[in-house]
Amino acid sequence: MSLRVPIEPLEYRSGALFFDGFSLESLAENHGTPLYVYSAGAVRSRLAAYRAGIGQRRHQICYAMKANGNLGLLGVLARENCGVDIVSGGELFRALRAGISPERIVFSGVGKSATEMVEGLENEIHLFVVESGAELHLLSQVASARGQVARVSVRVNPDVDAGTHPYIATGLRENKFGIDHEEVLATYRLIQELPGLEARGIGFHIGSQLTDLDGFREAARRIRDLIEALRVDPGVVLSHVDVGGGLGIRYASEEPPSPEDYARLLCEELPYPEMTLVFEPGRNLVGNAGILISRILFRKQNGAKVFFIADAAMNDLIRPSLYGAYHEIWPAIRERMVHPISGADLVGPVCESGDFLARDRELPDLQAGDLVALASAGAYGFVMSSNYNARLRPAEVLIDGGEARLVRARESYDDLVRLETL
């Protein structure tokens, strides 16, 4: 194992691993393990990079909160005047509780219920992103019955291959998302015909964890063609273009474009200064700003195969089991990397062969009691966790201004049965 450099804000100081100024040892001692830790400073730095690339262009950043909905983290974004992209009534509730302005909330998703539509209208959110004719008809009925007008944006499926994992590709015709680009003009005509609706925008989202700009460029050009066609219709006045999210991060050896380059490209490809550009970064804002700390319980050897059994498991971080995802593993003691173990697995206590955090990897020479940090765990980590095997979900800590603050307590056994009856 090469003594490479971890992703900031992880760093070694005198052989010990620190995250945003706090040692893993101190974080684990104060809050236990498994433990999610997030850096507010890293999120703000990423946000500043987007804004530098956007420059003076009229814009709104709406964080895709499905990546991480922790209230403490949402509070940081609210204070930075960010909006959010939500996909459920529960996310709307969390966003409002965190202080996000309703005027900066965009409601996406292919399956909004009538109840969720009412909740959005009651709170006067900025707009609904619609993804089918059937959804338009239901939204029209709901808004009309309330005597309200729902502002809508059409999500276009541009049929662009994003070149990412099939589970997180969203821009092909075979995916469930968006309205076929060949049906978009008819969709805007339908919006004009239905009561209670007002067309405000157009947008796209082609996938997640994208590590080059080609797909974004192609999708933006297809949207530009549609905008030009729609501008001919005096009944359609578009005030914004939603470019979605999807820019990737480094998990292993990836070298994704910078947020600055990504934002500049979209500003250039969509040259409509009168329209607000809406960006919806999720993973790219918070992914590298979080880690999962775990403690090694046992070191086990079956023949030549070495297993490091950790107190974190697939229920805490399911990405490796679900997607075959890679997270760098950094030991709290740097010296453990000098003589690495080849073909080793880092596994959890869950009763599944699919319970692994790293498989057939070159891993540090870990010992029972050691702490490790799973890097790039700020996105799709805790938010996808579960109580499988009746395991308690971890605590979450936010580091901000030199303070490591508990922003979600570790669950208790009582929490496991709180909503149940005999």
Return the active site residues: 351
Contacts 24+ apart (CB under 8 A), 2-10: 3/334, 3/337, 3/338, 6/328, 6/330, 6/373, 6/375, 7/250, 7/288, 7/328, 7/375, 7/376, 8/42, 8/288, 9/39, 9/41, 9/42, 9/289, 10/291, 10/330, 10/373, 10/375
Q: From the CA atom positions of the chain, what is the Rg in Å? A: 23
The β-bridge partners of 139 are none
Q: How far apart are CA 361 and CA 345, in angstroms?
A: 6
How much of the chain is in helix, strand and coil states, percent to nearest 5? 35, 30, 40
Which residues does 212 contact at the CB level (< 8 Å), separation at least 6?
163, 256, 257
Three-class SS of residue 64? strand
Q: How far apart are CA 89 and CA 267, in angstroms?
A: 31
**Strands (DSSP E) along 125-209, which ranges?**
127-130, 150-157, 179-180, 197-204
Q: How far apart are CA 194 and CA 188, in angstroms?
A: 10
Q: How far apart are CA 338 and CA 1, in angstroms?
A: 7
Phi, psi of 89 (to 5 degrees): -65, -35
Q: How far apart are CA 138 and CA 331, in angstroms?
A: 53
